[in-house]
Amino acid sequence: MSSRIPVILNPAAKSTQAAAREKIIQALSPTPELIITTAPGEATQIAEKLAQEGHELVVAAGGDGTMNEVLQGLCRVNSKRGEHQKHTALGILPVGTMNVFSLELGMPSADISRCWEMITRSSLPEIDLWQANDQYFVQLAGVGFDAEIIQETPWERKKKFGPLSYAMSAMQVLMRKQPTLTVQSDGIPDMHGSVVLIGAGKHYGGPVPVFPKASNQDGLLDVIIFRGFGGLEFAQMFRSIFERGYEAADDIDYLQLSEFTVVSKPDAPFEIDGELAHGATPVIFKQAPFKLRVAV
């Protein structure tokens, strides 16, 4: 087994700066073991193999999608380890279009060398790890509108238009009737809405703290439920939250829950860490039976 820290780099996350980013990573000190993926989902398989080989730390280089792929692979192995066995930790090099988790961890995304220094010197603290059905996530999730936007935004469009591609998809989704979502949790009455946003940390789509009460060490998920209303009103409120953060409003409920289920009519897609998840509602959100070690 190599003594170097493995770094899994997603070429899809690199766009036209591929060669430059590879060069930057290869020049880091101590020198990492750079592994480049060749197909979607391969990062999960590579991460799983590295964890099985006994690596203490595996680093995902890319955006939130790459991070979550690596997370799935590590968690498949960590979930089978005993209480006293050391878990493989996750590190982040934020070189993709968007990496909200690295922002939550306080990683200086504009300085990859500094990020690497933080990773290599980390004591690998633990944070909350969550599950949406049988899939793992660490930062955010959503049911309904935002998942539909991701579903409607193909890679070709993202490559051509960048962040604008999501706005284009949002306009398409807003023209449709939104499903009725129901949040069910012990001890509270069922709550209904058209969109459910979920935060394990404060940040959702960027630097604005959409979930001001959230912490990745409190054993709770912060849940924002948008009640049903017209497309224009929804777009205005959605934009307001992403520009200024959550503000109390008559059309929004803000909860903190340790476990809950979201059902819908008709079935709706859901996303985890900014990537479309497998399957659809109903989806059970709950704490994983083990924590995640992170390099920060």
Same domain, 159 and 243: yes
149 or 287, greater pLDDT:
287
12-21, 204-213, 231-240, 280-289: least confidently modelled range:
12-21
In a domain, 293, yes or no: no
For 17-49, the pLDDT digits (tens) are 667 888 899 999 999 999 999 888 899 999 999
Quickly state the pLDDT bin for 247 (edges 50, 70, 90): confident
For 197-208, the pLDDT digits (tens) are 999 999 997 888
Same domain, 195 and 279: yes
Q: What is the domain-level CATH number for residue 205? A: 2.60.200.40
Average pLDDT over residues 208-223: 95
| Secondary structure percentages of the chain, helix, strand, coil, to 5 | 30, 25, 40
pTM here is 0.91
Q: Are 192 and 182 in contact (CB under 8 A)?
A: yes
The residue segments making up the domain with residue 93 are 6-124
What is the rounded average pLDDT for all residues in the chain? 89
Per mean pLDDT, which of 113-127, 144-158, 193-207 is the most reliable? 113-127
Q: Rounded distance, CA 61 to CA 8, Å?
A: 6
Both tokens of 54, joined, read 């006994």
Quickly state the pLDDT bin for 172 (edges 50, 70, 90): confident
Q: First-to-last CA distance in the chain? A: 24
Q: Rounded distance, CA 129 to CA 123, Å?
A: 18
Where is the domain boundary, 124, 157, 174? 124
Same domain, 156 and 282: yes
Same domain, 112 and 143: no
